[in-house]
């Protein structure tokens, strides 16, 4: 089980580090990032706005300086849900295990610089979980319908891939079930495809080609088309920094937000079978260019900008699962852990133990089914 532990820790530490590095450049465009930081961002940097507390009154978060964001807060909350149930999760578990964690458990929130329940850090599309499941008592299996469609569910689905290590189809199905409580349309689809990509990356000897194959095998509609287009564009580049304009052009026909990221139009984030979130295809494209390398893939996502923390979270989770814990630069992970006041490796250790227990339970269930099916022959 040592490889399972190594890959689980690599995945979740990688996701958190990507989140922290990408937080500084979130919402900025590539040219704005180069102007602010004097060129290509190559590590942990200060906030994009020096006066971060007042420059965006609707979102006064201290992003940058190695601070994790809501992507990692949600990921760790989902790990705790798995740790409580120690089996596969469903939409009802989101209501009964995840939502109470978000509104009752106090955690350190780095970009708010205080301890609070995670709910206080969530964006409106993520607070939908609490509104619909805790206050409105909606059916968990369809509570995501009506939410704006974005990457809010996809950004924390890495644990589903770890629990279903080596089984992309199983990860896809479980993430579709879980994310239905939060998202719908292509937001839900992206959550499932991301989980499948992580599950593929968790397999022994997996390559970025295996990850892409799993994503394309399982993805549907606009999500599949967007992944295919971005991956095709990515294969023409050797450095992620050179590919940023091409990846943006490849995903643009499927993206509903538009070029002015801070001011999306009326068509943004509405359900559609023709569209895709931007973050997952771009993350996969960065992983392809980097040939699975962590540093190159994550920095590509960071310098791509737009929803950089979520894109880098996904790239970091996949690359971290491919390469294991040693793939994540130790100086980055140590700095993020210190700045965010969190043990980045512990969730990976916990989840590896849960994954082993779930696999054993699955084996027992399949053995019973085999006996029953033989009796039907």
Share of the chain above pLDDT 70, in %: 99
All residues at 6 or more sequence positions from 373 whose CB lies less than 8 Å from its CB, including other chains: none
Give the phi and the psi of residue 338 in degrees, each rounded to 5: -70, -45
Size of the chain in residues:
377
> What domain range is 126 assigned to?
2-376
**105: pLDDT confidence band, cut at 50, 70 and 90?**
very high
Give the Cα separation of 225 and 36 in Å (integer): 34
Give the Cα separation of 94 and 180 in Å (integer): 10
Residue 348 and residue 320 in contact, taking contact as beta carbons nearer than 8 Å: no
Radius of gyration of the chain measured on its C-alpha atoms: 19
Give the Cα separation of 29 and 307 in Å (integer): 10
**57: pLDDT confidence band, cut at 50, 70 and 90?**
low
Q: How many domains does the chain have?
A: 1
185 token code pair: 């349309």
**54: pLDDT confidence band, cut at 50, 70 and 90?**
confident
22 token code pair: 């990408």
pTM, to two decimals: 0.98
Mean pLDDT of 242-271: 94
pLDDT at 58: 67
pLDDT one-digit tens code per residue, 290-336: 999 999 999 999 999 999 999 999 999 999 999 999 999 999 999 99
pLDDT at 1: 81
Statement: residue 15 has pLDDT above 70: yes
pLDDT one-digit tens code per residue, 19-51: 999 999 999 999 999 999 999 999 999 999 989
pLDDT one-digit tens code per residue, 324-367: 999 999 999 999 999 999 999 999 999 999 999 999 999 999 99
For the CA atoms of 233, 237, 241, 244, what is the dihedral angle to 10 degrees? Answer: -10
Binding residues are: 69-71, 307, 309-310
Binding residues for Mg(2+) are: 69-71, 307, 309-310
Give the Cα separation of 147 and 177 in Å (integer): 16
Nearest residue to 24 via CA among 356, 309, 321, 320: 309
pLDDT at 60: 83
Statement: residue 113 has pLDDT above 80: yes
- CATH code at position 361: 1.10.4080.10
CB-based burial label for 206 (10 Å; 0-12, 13-18, 19+): buried
pLDDT one-digit tens code per residue, 122-135: 999 999 999 999 99
pLDDT one-digit tens code per residue, 134-191: 999 999 999 999 999 999 999 999 999 999 999 999 999 999 999 999 999 999 999 9
Average pLDDT, the chain: 97
**265: pLDDT confidence band, cut at 50, 70 and 90?**
confident
Q: Would you give the end-to-end CA distance of the chain in angstroms?
A: 36
């Amino acid at each position: 089980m040592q490889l399972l532990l190594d890959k689980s820790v690599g995945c979740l530490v990688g996701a958190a580090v990507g989140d922290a590095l990408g937080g500084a450049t979130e919402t900025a465009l590539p040219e704005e990032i180069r102007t602010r930081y004097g060129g290509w961002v190559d590590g942990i940097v200060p906030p994009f706005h020096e006066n971060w507390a007042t420059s965006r009154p609707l979102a006064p978060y201290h992003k940058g300086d190695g601070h994790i964001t809501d992507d990692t807060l949600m990921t760790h909350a989902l790990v705790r849900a798995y740790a409580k149930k120690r089996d596969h999760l469903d939409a009802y578990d989101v209501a009964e295990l995840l939502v109470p964690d978000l509104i009752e458990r106090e955690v350190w929130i780095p970009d708010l610089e205080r301890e609070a329940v995670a709910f206080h850090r969530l964006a409106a599309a993520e607070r939908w979980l609490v509104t619909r499941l805790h206050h409105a008592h909606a059916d968990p299996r369809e509570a995501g319908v009506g939410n704006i469609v974005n990457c809010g569910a996809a950004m924390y689905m890495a644990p589903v891939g770890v629990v279903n290590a080596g089984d992309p189809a199983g990860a896809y199905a479980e993430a579709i079930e879980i994310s239905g409580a939060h998202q719908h349309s292509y937001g839900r689809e992206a959550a499932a495809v991301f989980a499948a990509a992580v599950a593929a990356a968790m397999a022994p000897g997996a390559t970025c080609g295996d990850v892409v194959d799993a994503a394309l095998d399982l993805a549907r509609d606009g999500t599949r088309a967007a992944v295919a287009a971005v991956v095709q564009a990515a294969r023409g580049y050797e450095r992620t920094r050179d590919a940023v304009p091409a990846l943006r052009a490849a995903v643009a026909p499927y993206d509903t937000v538009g070029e002015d990221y801070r001011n999306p139009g009326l068509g943004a984030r509405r359900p559609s079978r023709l569209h895709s979130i931007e973050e997952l295809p771009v993350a996969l494209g960065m992983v392809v260019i980097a040939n699975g390398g962590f540093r190159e893939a994550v920095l590509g996502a960071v310098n791509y900008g737009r929803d950089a923390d979520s894109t880098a979270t996904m790239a970091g989770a996949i690359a971290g699962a491919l390469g294991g814990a040693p793939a994540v630069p130790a100086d980055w992970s140590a700095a993020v852990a210190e700045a965010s006041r969190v043990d980045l490796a512990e969730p990976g250790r916990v989840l590896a133990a849960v994954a082993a227990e779930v696999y054993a339970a699955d084996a027992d269930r399949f053995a019973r089914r085999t006996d029953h099916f033989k009796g039907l022959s």
